[in-house]
Amino acid sequence: MAGTDSGLAADLGAELAKRGIELGPVIGRGAMAVVYRAFDARHDRSLAVKVLSPDAADKEGAARWTGEISAVARLRHPNILPLIDSGATASGAEYFLMPLAEGETLRARLQRGPLPIPEAVRYAREIAEALAYAHAEGLVHRDVKPENTLLEGGHAVLVDFGLARWMDPDASRSRFQSQVGRVVGTPAYMSPEQLAPAGSIDGRADLFSLGIMLYEMLTGAVPFPSSSMPGLLMERLTGRFEPVTALCPRAPVLLDRVVGRALAPDPAERYDRGETMVADLILVERQLSGAVIASALRFRPPLWGWVAGGVVALAAIAVVLALRMPVSRRLDPNRVVVADLQNETDDTALAAIGAMASDWISAGLTAIPGLTVINSSLVFGAPRQDLDRRITSATGPGLRALVDSTHAGIVVSGSYYRESGRLELFAEITDAKSGRLLLDLGPFRGPPAHPDSVLVPARDSITAFIRARRAGKDS
């Protein structure tokens, strides 16, 4: 090995010297590649040089290497380590150049124990954002794990796309196909479909791996501890693991919901898109920052606005009442205002669910490109009965002022009731200009102690409808 490394280093050093780059020491080693530190004097910057190991330069290794370069070269995201350039030495050793992350891997950080909860959630959200971007580009990573997560300056960066695969255009639901009979990845972080030979996977497998990583960051342990392949698969298929809050009592209950959904055995029950997981993690971050009181039933957020991409665009307007409004001028169909839901339960302990629902729906809608989402403290109900619900001038100026101030072309509103001990939620989407009811949803039913059981399906239904409507208009 020493002789091989020496020859490889001499060969690589000579090639890089032609480009004004000085080769430094080995800083990492994997099954396929060696990573060196380097310094680019021309641009006064440190680099990482990843070179294909001669032992891995067979047909399969070369194909993976080419695939990684192809994948990373087209990805441009702040939480994905970019490729600067690639090349080959005189003897044919292939390499590529990346920025040098001066921090440590998440694995190295975990060796010192669990992370602070806000830090763990931030890292998980940033990797979920990176995965959402990669999946939208048609790529599944297939090896999301602490070793492939770099921490630098308080942020997480996803690396090593050596096992990544492009979308199969002939497969349904944008699925990705492994080689028949091959299990590819790191077993401790694989989804059940990855552990099954010839399993067909998509981006939800990456989100499963991220769920394991989030659990480990919070608790210091993995949720599925078996060391055998049959044991790992059985643990995942049963879906049983100790709740996060049992091992990390200070963690918000919402984190149990996020991890549970990410680690659902059935892919159809998991997060279908990285953006949806990002939205839930943003809510956790807001709760941890003090914007949300720990108990969901005491939840009352401050007034604030959402914009697609998660940037605040407008302060929400504090107005109360008004169930209908007149046609407003200069309304923007790319703006949606989400009102607090009306509490029809006669139970003041459940009053905060209306604001919580508005928050969750707003967070879901921010994943839609080009859409401005404004979160409001205005209460705007949706009756149970299927009435001719049109926005009229009969109920006062509250919503009229809101729409005139925000120029939102779409209004999302709703109400919730208590029936036979269960929570019932109704929602509607209205065209603010014409007053036409675009969609009537509900009832969504669940236990009052777990409002997320109704808020999640309501949010997902509203987001899916608006996404589909916009896609139809664009086509």
Q: Using one digit for the tens of pLDDT, what is the confidence trace for 367-395? A: 888 888 887 665 555 555 444 443 433 33
Q: What backbone torsions phi and psi does residue 419 show, to the nearest 5 degrees?
A: -135, 120
Q: Which conformational region is residue 238 in: left (phi greater than 0), alpha (psi within -120 to 50 degrees), or beta? A: alpha
Pairwise CA distance, residues 458 & 423, whole Å: 13
Choosing from 11, 143, 280, 359, which is the catalytic residue? 143
Pairwise CA distance, residues 425 & 361, whole Å: 13
Which tokens sit at 413? 């509103």
Contact partners, residue 231, CB within 8 Å, separation at least 6: none
Residues 154-183, mean pLDDT to the nearest whole number: 61
Pairwise CA distance, residues 158 & 129, whole Å: 10
Pairwise CA distance, residues 152 & 161, whole Å: 19
Min mean pLDDT across 60-74, 160-174, 357-371 is at 160-174
The pLDDT of residue 179 is 43
pLDDT in tens, 440-457: 898 999 888 777 788 889
CATH number for region 104-279 = 1.10.510.10
* R_g over Cα of the chain: 25
Domain boundaries, the chain: 2-99, 104-279, 295-474
**Which three-class secondary structure string do you get for the chain?**
CHHHHHHHHHHHHHHHHCCCEEEEEEEEECCCEEEEEEEECCCCEEEEEEEECHHHCCHHHHHHHHHHHHHHHCCCCCCECCCCEEEECCCCCEEEEEECCCCEEHHHHHCCCCCCHHHHHHHHHHHHHHHHHHHHCCEECCCCCHHHEEEECCEEEECCCCCCEECCCCCHHHCEECCCCCCCCCHHHCCHHHHCCCCEECHHHHHHHHHHHHHHHHHCCCCCCCCCHHHHHHHHHHCCCCCHHHHCCCCCHHHHHHHHHHCCCCHHHCCCCHHHHHHHHHHHHHHHCCCCCCCHHHCCCCCCCCCCCCCCCCCCCCCCCCCCCCCCCCCEEEEEEEEECEECCCCHHHCCHHHHHHHHHHHHHCCCCCCEEEEEEEECCCCCCCCCCCCCCCCCCHHHHHHHHHCEEEEEEEEEEEECCEEEEEEEEEECCCCCEEEEEEEEEECCCCCHHHHHHHHHHHHHHHHHHHHHHHC
One-letter amino acid for residue 84 of the chain: I
pLDDT in tens, 409-447: 898 988 999 888 899 999 989 888 877 888 889 899 988
Pairwise CA distance, residues 34 & 57, whole Å: 12
Pairwise CA distance, residues 397 & 399, whole Å: 6
Residue 178: which pLDDT band, with cuts at 50, 70 and 90? very low
Residues 23-38, mean pLDDT to the nearest whole number: 84
Based on the residue annotation, tell me whether 143 is a catalytic residue of this protein.
Answer: yes
Kindly compute the dihedral angle of the four CA atoms of residues 263, 268, 269, 270, in this order, to the nearest 10 degrees: 40
Q: What backbone torsions phi and psi does residue 237 show, to the nearest 5 degrees?
A: -70, -30
For residue 140, the cross-strand partners are 165
What CATH homologous superfamily does 2-99 map to? Phosphorylase Kinase; domain 1 (3.30.200.20)
The pLDDT of residue 157 is 93
Listed residue (346, 349, 322, 345) closest to 413, CA to CA = 322
For residue 88, the cross-strand partners are 94
Residue 295: which pLDDT band, with cuts at 50, 70 and 90? very low
The pLDDT of residue 349 is 76
Pairwise CA distance, residues 144 & 266, whole Å: 19
The pLDDT of residue 184 is 53
* 329 class by beta-carbon count within 10 Å (0-12 exposed, 13-18 middle, 19+ buried): exposed
Min mean pLDDT across 19-33, 112-126, 305-319 is at 305-319
For 38, other C-beta atoms within 10 Å of its C-beta total 24
* 156 class by beta-carbon count within 10 Å (0-12 exposed, 13-18 middle, 19+ buried): buried
* Confidence check: pLDDT of 72 > 60: yes
Which tokens sit at 65? 């290497």
Kindly compute the dihedral angle of the four CA atoms of residues 76, 472, 457, 353, in this order, to the nearest 10 degrees: 90
Pairwise CA distance, residues 425 & 356, whole Å: 13
Min mean pLDDT across 251-255, 266-270, 451-455 is at 451-455
Residues 278-297, mean pLDDT to the nearest whole number: 66
Q: Mean pLDDT over all residues of the chain?
A: 77
pLDDT in tens, 185-239: 688 898 988 887 656 789 999 999 999 999 999 999 999 988 777 777 888 888 8
CATH number for region 295-474 = 3.40.50
The pLDDT of residue 41 is 87
Do the first three CATH levels of 2-99 and 104-279 match, i.e. the same topology?
no
The pLDDT of residue 367 is 80
Listed residue (251, 117, 116, 106) closest to 189, CA to CA = 106
Residue 107: which pLDDT band, with cuts at 50, 70 and 90? very high
The pLDDT of residue 381 is 59
Listed residue (262, 291, 113) closest to 189, CA to CA = 262
For residue 412, the cross-strand partners are 338, 429
The pLDDT of residue 309 is 35
